[in-house]
Structure 1
Amino acid sequence: MNHSQNTIPPLFRCPISLDLLEDPVTLCTGQTYDRSNIEKWLAAGNLTCPVTMQKLHDPSIVPNHTLRHLIDQWLQLGPLFDPSNPETSTSDSLASLKRNLESHESSLDTKLQALTKISLLSDEYCSFNKSCFLQLNFLPLLLELVFGTPVSIDHMNFIELALCCIQKLLPLGSLEPLNIIKDGSKLAMFVVLIEKGSNSVKTSLCRVIESASWSSETEELCYILGNSPKLVHEIVQIVNQNYEVSGDAIKAMSALCSLQSNRESLVRGRAIDGIMRYISSGRRNMAPLAVRTVEKLMELESGRVALVNHPNGVRTLVNMVFKVSDQECSESAVEVLLVVCGEFERARETAIESGVLTRLLLLLQSQSSNTTKSKARMLLKLLRSESRQN
């Protein structure tokens, strides 16, 4: 934002240049200057404070973070900001921004500008800003604007920015406002957005799903999301096809899987296929979480059958058994193999053909936990018995 000289509050001007303080620092005399200006003054051999002309017994300079914060707020809020009463200025500004978002007369550009300012202010997690956002009920408003408005190409930028703001506001208070998504039309909009939205929109929606698993307030919402065949299908599609967002989709899938009543729906939605493809493709950032999700799905007979019937399911898990950098993956992979190999002869044969015996022996010589080694011994005993029979 550009400001003419006569609009800059005196408190925010450098006494040397009279320009806006960009990097305010304070001398031992208590006077604040812009870093570049005072450093030039001192480098020229001056050992006094430019304003008070006091001799500097200590020439060191200290960053003035409080003033920097006030200047940032002034730059964001413009003329509404009063340096002498910053809290009232912030509250009034947020109320004004909310009115802009609520008004049917506000243009799309006005609303986008309002969201940009909200996004900047929500980055500052001071207790006063938090209380303002909560008291003004910004989260319910933004959720209504995103999921209660018909989608059009013109509004996609608005939705993208609003979802970014929602992400920032979710950790500030109760998650109960998310329950608005339980409404049929809003759930349908959620599915449309995750299907047709940009990568930023898809990422934000995956994180909303993750948030819904955090609290008992949103347990029913988590169930509704997890039992929406279209939504589960879209999440699996992201895991399969979208490299950039696949990690967030794995987190969303894991969040849904945290509710036992969602797991059958995830298996029907081919979650195991998606996870196997994710792991085998080399996208390993979320591999430990992905394998833990498979481990939870093994509680279901349908999950075990889906894994054994997957062309590379058992082989993929065998490859995860001994990973020096992924001990967590090793433990979950051994647990899953122990379950399916104990039940399916075909799984035992495939595991042996894939070299699991060597990997288990290496695992037993590694720094893995005692629990992992105990399970590895059980699996080794089971598979050696199978090997001798053949």
Structure 2
Amino acid sequence: MIFPWRRRRAFRRAGKERRGEIMGDNGCDMELTIPNHYRCPISLDLMKDPVTLPTGITYDRESIEKWIEAGNSTCPITNQVLRSIEPIPNHTIRKMIQNWCVQNQSYGIERIPTPRIPISSIEVSQILEMIAMATRSGDGAACRDSLAKIKVLAKESERNKRCIVNSGAGNALSLAFEAFSKADGGFDKNGVVLEEILSALTLVSPLDGEAKSSLGSASSLHCMVWFLQGGDLSARGNAVLVLKEVVSSDKEKLEAFAEIEGALAAIFKLVKEPIFPTATKASLMMIYHMVRSSSPSPSSSSSSSSLSSSSSSSQIVERFVEMGLVSLLLEILVDSEKSICEKALGVLDGICSTEKGREKAYNHALTMPVLVKKILRVSDLATEFSVSILWKLCKNESREEGTAMIEALQVGAFQKLLLLLQVGCVERIKEKITELLKILNAYRNSLECIDSMDFKELKRPF
């Protein structure tokens, strides 16, 4: 007789295929061995989707695709150069493995599911052509049907997604988005199909130059701002993800976006009222590129176009400052994860390059405590941004006032900066730290940085 607790324990052991230990019908321990020709030569695990290379060797699809993606062009076993890197599904071996799993179900072995056949570039091209035809005829319903297929296939597997991206889906979808944004009836009539295209575009990134050109057109940018202002949460999130990729690397598109009425307020709202972390990061990156362009550059020319661009960027910063971005960033920095913290500090660094930005930072009680706390606490990048902001605030403050310097000393900035020099940092930051220490040192004699009463409970060692 086998007690129920022994049977349960045996089945738990049986679930571990690599170990293969099971409990037999007679109550004796026995070992279930996976046949070698059912194992992947790379992972040595039971193959779930066996595929055969032109060399005749069968591997599990996931393992061999990782091998090929790593830049290898040879068969791992035979070392022969592969004439084709497209593996062929081995249905015979797969059925044999499934039969073996069924035969050993009593030992806790589950039958591997029949894998879906990955999509081919020809199939993707056919779907994209259907989207192009629907776009030319203005048939939003037909376009949505094809978009649904693209989205399902892209979510099915990473391999499908790569195939879709490599087949030029980004360019085709961008052209469709631009066309429907210009179509009769405006955004209200074509809003549903435009939202579906945006959703699909987030799945086929990175976008190439042609795709960004289409999405950077006036009609496309206005459409995405329209979604940012009045779309549902999903549409707003998708819009900012696409916008970040389109405008962040192109100053002209960035300025065109900023000039659209309500665009800056919509981006600010996404940071103030987060939808999901990815959208928040994308919003901060867009703001980062807008405010960084206002920072003075030693190599900037004195041409009228450069002056105009600098003036436009300064106006963008002023508008963000008036919205309350400085206060919002400092509140975010109190408790945020690494990536958001780095981006928020980068934005604050750009804002503090302007007089109005520094004025807001001077007047906020959290500025110095937060900046000093982030040094050597988050990452090297966060430390660099924090030092840069401190340097801008202290260097540009009048000596007569000195409020920022005194606050920095009170929260331990001098000790943190000295420690950072000892630990080591890049040269450009080292120069700013040296200058900061000289500025702060002038105030140390008139200020007691450490209250001796803080150590009243400390016991002496003697």
Q: TM (normalized to structure 2)?
A: 0.59
**Residue 118 (structure 2) pairs with residue 72 (structure 1):** yes
Q: Secondary structure at the match of 1:171?
A: coil
* Cα distance in structure 2, aligned partners of 1:301 and 1:294: 13
Shift of 1:307: 2.0
Q: Secondary structure at the match of 1:365?
A: helix
Letter in 2 for 1:193: F
Task: Give the gaps of 5 or more residues in structure 1.
Answer: 1-21, 46-67, 75-85
Closer, same or farther in 2 for the Cα pair 1:358/1:229, shift >3 Å? farther
Task: Give the gaps of 5 or more residues in structure 2.
Answer: 1-47, 59-87, 104-114, 155-159, 295-309, 448-462
Retained in 2: the 8 A contact 1:318–1:351? yes
Letter in 2 for 1:259: S
**Residue 176 (structure 2) pairs with residue 118 (structure 1):** no
* Cα distance in structure 1, aligned partners of 2:170 and 2:272: 37
For 1:266-277, list aligned pairs within 5 A: 266-270=317-321, 271-277=325-331
Retained in 1: the 8 A contact 2:228–2:236? yes
Give the structure, 1 or 2, with the largest relative contact order (CA under 8 Å, sep 6 or more).
Answer: 1
Retained in 2: the 8 A contact 1:203–1:248? no
Closer, same or farther in 2 for the Cα pair 1:282/1:90, shift >3 Å? closer
* Cα distance in structure 2, aligned partners of 1:296 and 1:31: 54
Match of 1:287 in 2: 341
Match of 1:19 in 2: none
**Residue 372 (structure 2) pairs with residue 318 (structure 1):** yes
Shift of 1:298: 2.8
Match of 1:179 in 2: 216
Q: Secondary structure at the match of 1:124?
A: helix
Shift of 1:34: 5.5
* Cα distance in structure 2, aligned partners of 1:112 and 1:24: 34
Match of 1:342 in 2: 395
- Alignment deviations for residues 133-176 of structure 1 (CA, whole Å, 9 cap, x no partner): 65xx5412223435766555x97664443113334266233222
**Residue 170 (structure 2) pairs with residue 129 (structure 1):** no
Residue 304 of structure 1, aligned match among 337, 344, 358: 358
Shift of 1:28: 4.9
* Cα distance in structure 2, aligned partners of 1:364 and 1:242: 37
Retained in 2: the 8 A contact 1:322–1:360? no
Q: TM (normalized to structure 1)?
A: 0.69
**Residue 197 (structure 2) pairs with residue 162 (structure 1):** yes
Retained in 2: the 8 A contact 1:298–1:339? yes
Closer, same or farther in 2 for the Cα pair 1:319/1:156, shift >3 Å? farther
Match of 2:306 in 1: none
* Cα distance in structure 2, aligned partners of 1:331 and 1:44: 59
Residue 128 of structure 2, aligned match among 88, 91, 94: 94
Shift of 1:212: 3.4
Residue 249 of structure 1, aligned match among 283, 290, 311: 283
More helix by share: 1
Match of 1:8 in 2: none
- Alignment deviations for residues 63-109 of structure 1 (CA, whole Å, 9 cap, x no partner): xxxxx89x3337xxxxxxxxxxx63x5434422232234444553xx
Shift of 1:301: 1.8
* Cα distance in structure 2, aligned partners of 1:188 and 1:95: 26
* Cα distance in structure 2, aligned partners of 1:212 and 1:93: 24
Closer, same or farther in 2 for the Cα pair 1:290/1:92, shift >3 Å? same
Retained in 2: the 8 A contact 1:142–1:162? yes
Closer, same or farther in 2 for the Cα pair 1:277/1:238, shift >3 Å? farther
Retained in 1: the 8 A contact 2:215–2:246? yes
Residue 195 of structure 1, aligned match among 213, 222, 229: 229
* Cα distance in structure 1, aligned partners of 2:260 and 2:365: 26
Closer, same or farther in 2 for the Cα pair 1:172/1:151, shift >3 Å? same
Q: Secondary structure at the match of 2:344?
A: helix
Backbone CA RMSD of aligned residues: 3.6
- Alignment deviations for residues 266-324 of structure 1 (CA, whole Å, 9 cap, x no partner): 3322333332222223243222232223223333222222322334223322221231x
Match of 1:234 in 2: 266
Letter in 1 for 2:327: D
Letter in 2 for 1:98: A
Letter in 2 for 1:95: E
Closer, same or farther in 2 for the Cα pair 1:40/1:72, shift >3 Å? closer
